[in-house]
A and B are shown apart, each in its own frame.
Chain A
């Protein structure tokens, strides 16, 4: 019985750790997507500035 309970606790902890890792990956992907948009905006800003100086 004790062995069963320990197994249950271990598996639930592992599952939680797994889902937390996945959650962090989701956050990292969202942050990367936003930073990609920001990089595009900055490059557009610089390109327009070049054209304006001409």
Chain B
């Protein structure tokens, strides 16, 4: 039997996918119907950030308790976070092409997101370069704990200090001022919650597979 949050994830994402295309949206200049991408693009970043926080928590736990199972969890959360980040970038690029006229602009948020993603890609390169499991867990946990605050600064702080095309950045109005009649919220919040649940579900499956592999390797 599936746990409640997995069932909730399925229902919420299905509702967001269908409702996101069918329910009315405010007609805003330039954005027009592309505002519906808010339901698909932004939840990916929320999912990524939540998973990265979970990854950092387990990295810290791994350092404190010196348990390799925490490292397995930390790695899996980071891996699925990177998957969500990639989906966020792809949906963002499609949106950018239709509203800003190019797949990639010199926007500080875009560049920061790319740097942040590369930083986490380097985390996996680092892990792959160390053979000893305990050493790998320790070093990558320290890297992970340093990477998270840098990622938060790159995504949330830096783009707000300079001119940006993104809403809520560089003096632009944020999501709240767009959403005057709350029609977007009806789909946006369920989409965020649903994708977070789905992200944790995929990560949980990855963790369980890695645990089984780890236990089998240690049996031999």
Contacts A27-B18, A51-B212 given: A41-B13 contact, CB under 8 Å? no
Comparing B75-83, B107-115, B179-187, B201-209, the segment that makes contact with chain A is: B201-209
Q: Are A45 and B14 interface neighbours, CB within 8 A?
A: no
How does the 8 Å CB contact mask read for B1-41 relative to A, with 1 for contact and 0 for none? Answer: 01000100010011001100110000000000000000000
| A35 and B208 alpha carbons, distance in the complex (Å) | 22
- For chain B, give the interface size range: 10 to 19
State whether the Cβ of A38 lies closer than 8 Å to any Cβ in chain B. Answer: yes
Q: Which residues of B contact A30 (CB under 8 A)?
A: 17-18, 21
Instruction: For chain A, residues 1 to 54, give those with C-beta under 8 angstroms from any C-beta of chain B.
Output: 23, 26-27, 30-31, 34-35, 38, 41-42, 44-45, 48, 51-52
Contacts A31-B18, A34-B17, A45-B205 given: A52-B212 contact, CB under 8 Å? yes
| A51 and B22 alpha carbons, distance in the complex (Å) | 41
Most buried by B among A27, A30, A41, A44: A41
Q: Are A48 and B21 interface neighbours, CB within 8 A?
A: no
Contacts A48-B212, A52-B208 given: A35-B2 contact, CB under 8 Å? no
Of the candidates B14, B21, B201, B205, which one forms a contact with A34 in the assembled complex, judged by CB atoms under 8 Å apart? B14
Q: Are A31 and B212 interface neighbours, CB within 8 A?
A: no
| A8 and B217 alpha carbons, distance in the complex (Å) | 72
Q: Are A45 and B212 interface neighbours, CB within 8 A?
A: no
Contacts A48-B209, A52-B208 given: A42-B17 contact, CB under 8 Å? no
Q: Are B212 and A38 interface neighbours, CB within 8 A?
A: no
> Closest chain B residue to A28 by CB distance?
B18
Of the candidates A27, A31, A41, A52, which one forms a contact with B201 in the assembled complex, judged by CB atoms under 8 Å apart? A41
| A48 and B202 alpha carbons, distance in the complex (Å) | 12
| A44 and B6 alpha carbons, distance in the complex (Å) | 13
Q: Which residues of B contact A35 (CB under 8 A)?
A: 14
What 3 pairs between A and B have smallest CB-CB spacing?
Answer: A48-B208, A27-B21, A38-B10
Q: Which residues of B contact A (CB under 8 A)?
A: 2, 6, 10, 13-14, 17-18, 21-22, 201-202, 205, 208-209, 212
Supply 11 A–B pairs (Cβ within 8 Å), ascending by A. Answer: A23-B21, A27-B18, A27-B22, A30-B17, A30-B21, A31-B17, A34-B17, A41-B202, A42-B2, A48-B209, A48-B212
